[in-house]
Amino acid sequence: MPKIGDIELPDFPLLLAPMEDVSDPPFRALCKEQGADVVYTEFISSEGLIRDAAKSMIKLDIYEKERPVGIQIFGAELDSMLQATDIVEKSNPDIIDINFGCPVKKVVSKNAGAGILRDIPLMVKLTEEIVKRTKLPVTVKTRLGWDTSSIKIVEVAERLQDVGIKAISIHGRTRVQMYKGDADWKPIAEVKNNSRMHIPVFGNGDVDTPEAAVKMRDEYGLDGAMIGRASIGNPWFFNAVKHFFKTGTHVSPPTMEERVDAARRHLQMAIDWKGEKLGVFETRRHYTNYFKGIPHFKEYRMKMVTSDESVDVFAAFDEVLEKFGDFQFA
């Protein structure tokens, strides 16, 4: 059974990836209910934290029901990252995760996220100092390398382990690839098969079916799967994977009633957390996925994503249930 520090995990745990504007407390709660074993916050700017920026500070909100939960930070300045570590520790997460994988230009241009893959000594130094700074287990999420000509992930993972990280999650693409092409899990397996590695190695990228999770476990021998895009608007994905692990069969897709119920609860939790205006606005991105595959749905989707008042969105949910309640999802 893999462990992150003293945190015991089930055999081949499923982790909810940190996703900007997605993995907030309401969404994490829904994923946790559906079988996510570890959840991570959206990534948080170290500079934003030390400036006490409201957008960064609210991302520190975590709840008992979602444990074990990791708070993820990013940055490239040592002092800022250490101060951010102190701030994060006060929020009492179970894990501090360092983002060395975000490929977005505004992050990379500051040498943070995947940008640091061009400076491995700095990556190792930052990690070492953060490990020294906190009593919490530190984990890292990263990519294979900056580009295909600079993949040294086996060596990088070993060096990060040597300075004290307790687990590593690796996305099977380079920064240059962004999210294009297929994720390559072979180099992640090479990390796992390095005889010097003893911390859990989690795979990330293209785990979008239960079969893919089985393949990552059985063919590549990884310790767990970190799931990102496949879970957006689909918190049931974790349960679907676990059902497949147990039975080898696919669980029935969630019914319309279950989808509407999840959308309602998601919206209500978001309003309770951030207030009416932001709660309504920030939940919109999930509705397309909750109700994917329903023909002639545009009118209802538009109501959900353009209404500024929650009462109108809740009314749209009621209309959907009334009109499409018998719809059979494939």
Active site residues: 102
Angle CA 284–289–293, to nearest 5: 130
- Which tokens sit at 182? 């297929």
Task: DSSP letter for 327, please.
Answer: P
Q: Quick one: 54 exposed, middle or buried, by C-beta within 10 A (0-12, 13-18, 19+)? A: exposed
Q: Rounded distance, CA 34 to CA 55, Å?
A: 28
DSSP letters, 44-70, are EEHHHHHTT-HHHHGGG---GGG-SEE
| Cis status, amide bond into 2, omega within 30 of 0 | no
Strands 69-74 and 14-16, sheet pairing: unpaired
CA angle (23 as vertex; 189, 120 as ends), nearest 5 = 45
Tokens describing residue 237? 């994905």
Provide the residue type at 289 as one letter: N
